[in-house]
Amino acid sequence: MRTPSASTSRSCGRSRARAVVLVGSRSDNTAAREALRAELDAFTRSGGRAACIGQNLLGVDTVLPENRAGAEALARALAALVTGGSPCWPGRARC
């Protein structure tokens, strides 16, 4: 897994990007996350727009996916494919 990088944000500023959307998993590297947050803050202060898809940890507009509901929908779809459309769930009276 690649760690979010402040240099990525800096390169967006150098290339005069008007907006950046960050998508990815959470990083446990607090120093890298805080460096990225500072770069995004500088980017938005200079007129850029930033958004994130994931956890709200970077101080920019964030889309928070419904992980639990999405995982359940995926499990149901996969179970339907494997069982021919009739998934059997624990606790169900009939399968």
Q: Highest mean pLDDT: which of 4-13, 19-28, 40-49, 66-75?
A: 40-49
The CA-based dihedral angle spanning residues 66, 24, 54, 51, taken in that order and rounded to the nearest 10 degrees: -130
The CA-based dihedral angle spanning residues 50, 32, 10, 46, taken in that order and rounded to the nearest 10 degrees: 50
Q: Closest by alpha carbon to 26, among 50, 59, 54, 49?
A: 54
Look at 93 and 66; give whichever has higher pLDDT: 66
Asked if 20 contacts 12 with a C-beta cutoff of 8 angstroms, the reply is: yes
Give the pLDDT mean for 70-94: 71
Decide if pLDDT at 1 tops 50. Answer: no
